[in-house]
Structure 1
């Protein structure tokens, strides 16, 4: 986290300079009060008039100095947090699929919201506050030495005791702060799940059950916050007790020195004022150091994300697809318990159209995810044109392969934004993608056409309309390889056939489609059918060849919805 403190060195230095100026201005108040009191006691009109002029200058300097410091401080914190959040977000975004899915997405949201807010308040702002206390403390110490050195001896002893307090409680406070942070991550995760499943909650009438579930999570979260707050309050009270005790003792010594004529009443007033800039910094510094220590687990969590090794600089660039995608004895499992795919070997040639079929959970979608490079922890070899996919930069894979998922995600923007994903395309390219995806009718019915906002995750549109937008998104990218995972499952049969025909009509494009549409009219369009049975390739070949063999595919076809399929 230290590198972010000095990320903007010039601005940070300016903040420190202005903070020093503010500390000097605040401490000088003691001298001003001393002169005013002494002028009153000695009836010195010249000193009184001089004090009035100085007071006016002082107030103007105080106003502009503090205003400038606050503006520059907020600017520095804003710029620093923008960079910090950007770095965290970028590292999360560059995780591979396996690493990303190890965490609930709500945990990432919690880090970028709750944890970042804690770091801002209890780390960055407190560092600047500590600088203020340090400067005011040093100046006040120097001033008190000039008034009477015996006051410093008492303050030094009391201050040394006060500084020990953070070390006594920091570990426990850090532990409680981290527990609260983790509970907030769970709370955020539950909220996300509940609001995402709103339709299910209402449809299955489980409102009361979900309310109870929320109540438990909410209670647990607030309980962890309460425990942290109570312990933090205890530490603050102990710090305040020592600070106030020291204040009273120093005040009594000051009165004694006044009685003994070692200092004037004005100097006594100045001493009291200066003690505020010595004792209060002790008290506040203890609290600040304790809070900063309590953020250790949270800052470590953030730094671990930033420093995680997700760099792909050593990976190669592949600019074109030439011959084939090859699986050689590939096995993979999401957990160690059971392999999802086992000993898969196949070659997917350029320009051909492949349909992957099989029962739910057989491993069809997993094959697509492995082609996309989402997971690296598989056994065997996957290559594109003989180049190991693990050695290809993810950006290159994205330039070669585009996928359309069954569960479409739309960003909260316009239809156009969701088709182009904010890239620059010509009107002709956009219109062509819309036409091929059969979106013209929808867009023509909308008052704002292609500039219509889709709402949160396309909530304004049906599942079929969202899939059409997703298909247009894939078409416009013009990648040589397109992966379709139940891409038209929510679209009516007639429109689905038209879209499928449009996509398959591209001679140069390699299509690999996972489908449950087990009809002759649909499967006959593909060059090869790959039948997956319990994670292995059961059959592979032309549709009618596989039907004639009368094996597993025939069984799948016999329970399909289309009874017109010819079975020899």
Structure 2
């Protein structure tokens, strides 16, 4: 929040300046009304003409400054919310895979949409209104003291009573606003889950059941918000009643002073007008303070997202990979007490080709993610050319490797952007990557070629075509390490063989392939096969060596080959 304020300090200064002028100007209207009424009652034509002349210029000028205040405040709110979203989004992206995965993505979506709206409506806008009304309150108080200290003293006594309202509703509203934020996050999560499962819903005729779940969640979310709104309404209602009683007290006391000859008729009008500028702001403040307090948990959640700093990867050393990537006594657990990896010792040499094989769930993907800096909470060491991973610049480590994932994600843009990922590459490099990936023939048949839209998550293309694009995405970067995480599982065996053999032929490329494809012709081309079981490395060596020396590997290969047949 502080960063958002500092970034928009120009708009803050303008808003405060115009707010000051508008607030003071609205208070001084009472003086003009006093002069008009006194001139009419006393029959003073000269005073009447002077006041009329001033009013002709004063009112439009006040309207102009009101417009400028409205524009500057809206520009401030726009800048504030834009900065808040940017800060939160940046904070989300600073998380490593482990931290990111701990929170449902729907919570992030809710923070960037629902919570932003809550903060705008219940924090930023009330804060600006409170500031403006405080200026009006102070100016009205000073002018009322000048006109009638007695009426002002009685009015202050009534206002003290109004100040008790926030203490009655502040904590209750804070609790209810927090519940609204949590419930909207849950609602967004359920909604995302349902829409993501659209294909299953339609395939299994679940529409009626899902509609019922949606109706329940929708009702719960609406009721939770309504509970908070009821508390707000009660707070506002009591404030309105107390405010009205206060104004009646002012009118009756001022009327009594006129009857006793201690106050002019113009002063009565001025006092009534000023009491509106005295009680009205107090009521607004009383209504807005609980709203500001109520949204405090949401603001704290926002700050936690925006100010996130990774306290593990704090290294500043620029990484290098000229010789080897090494893991020693490496262990890792997603949840305490349940290791996914245990005591891994592994050395990967630059330019060599490695295949990670083993039963599903043995830790292959987790090992590769650890080696490339995705997770932080590991025991043991991971070093690049002898330097511990946690001492290295995290962004630099990520620039050493590219990954071809099994589950390919496509951004809702065109093929070119999905391959280049918004970076600039020459046409020659793009064409080369397209050719090596095997997607060239598909693109050549499209009317718009590389500019063809892929649709939401690549919905315009088949799984195999999306995977070929992912191969091109990785190849075009020409980074020293390439990870093939079941990256050819969605293409036919011939295409997979062609892609993999091309990658194996790149001399300076360190290739790490996670695979269930037990094709002996392909596995025989790797420098080393790393065979894993239950989070440990059970065997290492060439394909032929493991076949001859490792019985469990031989059984695994045989069973897998039979299952494939």
TM-score of the two chains, using structure 2 as the length reference: 0.95
Offset of residue 562 of structure 1: 6.7
Alpha-carbon contact 1:518-1:562 (below 8 Å) kept: no
Offset of residue 160 of structure 1: 1.4
Task: Quickly say closer, same or farther: Cα 1:232–1:390, change in 2 above 3 A.
Answer: same
Task: Quickly say closer, same or farther: Cα 1:182–1:69, change in 2 above 3 A.
Answer: same
The structure 1 segments of at least 4 consecutive aligned residues displaced by more than 6 Å after TM superposition are 562-565
Offset of residue 428 of structure 1: 1.0
CA deviation string 1:232-283 (max 9, x = no partner): 2112212222111111111111111122222222221221111111001111
Matched, 1:161 2:161: yes
Offset of residue 32 of structure 1: 2.5
In structure 2, what is the equivalent of residue 445 of structure 1? 445
Aligned partner of residue 66 in structure 2, secondary structure: helix
CA deviation string 1:385-427 (max 9, x = no partner): 2211122111111121111111111112221111111111111
Task: Quickly say closer, same or farther: Cα 1:408–1:3, change in 2 above 3 A.
Answer: closer
The separation in 1 between residues aligned to 2:488 and 2:254, in whole angstroms, is: 85
The separation in 1 between residues aligned to 2:341 and 2:3, in whole angstroms, is: 45
Matched, 1:304 2:294: no
CA deviation string 1:83-108 (max 9, x = no partner): 22222211111111111111111111
In angstroms, what is the RMSD of aligned CA positions? 2.0
Task: Quickly say closer, same or farther: Cα 1:290–1:563, change in 2 above 3 A.
Answer: closer
Aligned partner of residue 477 in structure 1, secondary structure: coil
Alpha-carbon contact 1:520-1:564 (below 8 Å) kept: no
The separation in 1 between residues aligned to 2:546 and 2:342, in whole angstroms, is: 22
Aligned partner of residue 521 in structure 2, secondary structure: helix
Q: Give matches, 1:35-434, under 5 Å.
A: 35-310=35-310, 314-434=314-434
Alpha-carbon contact 1:174-1:294 (below 8 Å) kept: yes
CA deviation string 1:44-69 (max 9, x = no partner): 44333333322321231122111111
Offset of residue 42 of structure 1: 3.4
Task: Quickly say closer, same or farther: Cα 1:314–1:554, change in 2 above 3 A.
Answer: closer
Which one is further off, 199-208 or 307-316? 307-316
Offset of residue 164 of structure 1: 2.2
In structure 2, what is the equivalent of residue 479 of structure 1? 479
Offset of residue 372 of structure 1: 1.5
Offset of residue 139 of structure 1: 1.5
Task: Quickly say closer, same or farther: Cα 1:82–1:314, change in 2 above 3 A.
Answer: same
Structure 2, unmatched stretches of 5+, are none
Alpha-carbon contact 2:412-2:458 (below 8 Å) kept: yes
Alpha-carbon contact 2:351-2:507 (below 8 Å) kept: yes
Offset of residue 338 of structure 1: 2.2
Task: Quickly say closer, same or farther: Cα 1:435–1:79, change in 2 above 3 A.
Answer: same
Offset of residue 25 of structure 1: 2.1
Which one is further off, 312-321 or 361-370? 312-321
CA deviation string 1:330-363 (max 9, x = no partner): 1211112422122221211211111111111111
Task: Quickly say closer, same or farther: Cα 1:6–1:548, change in 2 above 3 A.
Answer: closer
The separation in 1 between residues aligned to 2:245 and 2:564, in whole angstroms, is: 94
Which one is further off, 279-288 or 538-547? 538-547
The separation in 2 between residues aligned to 1:374 and 1:258, in whole angstroms, is: 79
Offset of residue 564 of structure 1: 11
Which one is further off, 206-215 or 340-349? 206-215
Alpha-carbon contact 2:373-2:398 (below 8 Å) kept: no
Aligned partner of residue 559 in structure 1, secondary structure: helix
CA deviation string 1:262-321 (max 9, x = no partner): 222222122111111100111110011111111111111122233333378951333431
The separation in 1 between residues aligned to 2:98 and 2:189, in whole angstroms, is: 19
The separation in 2 between residues aligned to 1:414 and 1:381, in whole angstroms, is: 41
